[in-house]
Structure 1
């Protein structure tokens, strides 16, 4: 875990460096077990293609969770996340190979609020495709 980010050290417009999160089919099976979402589009390539998808796709909530992880890792405190919301704008396609897919998340401090809270605007991409839009988090800093 990183050191806790302090409110007085953060500036509006400050960029939070991008982090890559590797996604493999095994991650999707594990997430299905944890979430109870066993929809076949997340693990069965034949079924995913049959319903018109290019391949197996990651759960939207799994993608969102990686963005939440990005924020809490930056802050250094998982309990600091006060509010979090996204819109799902595209799929994370996860091929069955050694590389899988990558979700790249970055952020910018958009606003400083009272009570040592800041708003973080997030960008999440898989390859050249933006997979989340209107992704924002409010975090409580020390």
Structure 2
């Protein structure tokens, strides 16, 4: 879905997106990113450092939220600023279903030069996993 600048007002909501994250996704992400930290693949190591289980890479979660925004704009290059704080880990069970990450967004402000600020709410298991997540996009 590509948005049109003329249709965007403060309060415009992005389509909700839900992404499944499995252990296989963590393996692929580790290979692509070079981040082979064992908290992303070993239950034993994750537990030894106080985590509730294997967790998704924070940057993978951030990337999924960014994808929801760029899918909405229809152009990955439209994303001109992006920031998040990592609030809670996304725990990925050792099964075929994995866990869901849900991304909701809302246009919070219209800026100069045809840009808009989008505030994001990113949750998993009913818990907010990214805090202060916001993107600035150039509207088509």
TM-score interval, normalised by the smaller of the two chains = over 0.9
Residue by residue, what CA displacement relative to the aligned partner does 1:114-142 show, whole Å, maximum 9, x if unpaired? 11100000000001110001000000011
Structure 2 distance, partners of 1:114, 1:7, is 12
Structure 1 residue 53, shift from structure 2 partner: 1.2
Structure 1 residue 17, shift from structure 2 partner: 2.5
Q: 2:90 aligns with which of 92, 98, 107?
A: 92
Residue by residue, what CA displacement relative to the aligned partner does 1:53-73 show, whole Å, maximum 9, x if unpaired? 111000110100000000000
Structure 1 residue 47, shift from structure 2 partner: 1.4
Match of 2:13 in 1: 15
Structure 2 distance, partners of 1:134, 1:27, is 25
Match of 2:134 in 1: 136
Question: After TM superposition, where is structure 1 displaced by more than 4 Å over at least 4 residues in a row?
Answer: none
Match of 2:80 in 1: 82
Partner SS for 1:15: coil
Partner SS for 1:120: strand
Residue by residue, what CA displacement relative to the aligned partner does 1:84-106 show, whole Å, maximum 9, x if unpaired? 00000000000011211110000
Count of residues in Structure 1 that have an aligned counterpart in Structure 2: 140
Q: TM (normalized to structure 2)?
A: 0.97
Mark the runs of 5 or more structure 2 residues left unpaired by the alignment: none
